[in-house]
Amino acid sequence: MPKMETGYKKACGAYAVIFDAKKEKVGVVPSGSGYRLPGGEISRGESELACLMRTVGADLEIAGFLGKAAQETGARSMDEGLFYLGKWEQPRKGSHNLEWLNLHEAAEKMAGTHHQWALQEGISAVQASTWF
């Protein structure tokens, strides 16, 4: 990650890698250049988990923290994400523009290297998990 200089703008968000019950599809949200993981920017004074409950849904179950990753979005700006593994007992359709893509398609169409990284981490974690 680049050295943070004075005047460097950093946005921090919380996002979830959410799988269907069969572990064949992942929930994604369309963005201008592909898809991103559901979630959003953390408001001042808000925790990451509170952000996920607000932006994704209060009935989201969190399995654990996948990690933190960042991507430069401009000459003096950085988009940082805190990524979690999650699931819904009853998968949602159409909520927050959520779409369900198969894992291969989602990996190909994910915008942002930090979201791509989190998706791959989520796939690895869910394949090794008995939680699903």
3-class secondary-structure state, position 4: coil
Give pLDDT tens digits for 82-111.
Answer: 999 988 766 555 456 789 999 989 989 998
- Which of 4-13, 62-71, 76-85, 122-131 has the weakest average pLDDT? 4-13
DSSP annotation of 110 reads B
Global model pTM greater than 0.85: no
The whole-angstrom separation of Cα 40 and Cα 89 is: 22
Decide: 48 and 82 in contact? Cβ < 8 Å. Answer: yes
> Is residue 23's pLDDT more than 60?
yes
Instruction: Count the Cβ atoms, other than its own, within 10 Å of residue 41.
Output: 13
Which of 71, 41, 35 minimizes the C-alpha distance to 56?
Answer: 41
Greatest distance between any 2 Cα atoms in the chain? 47
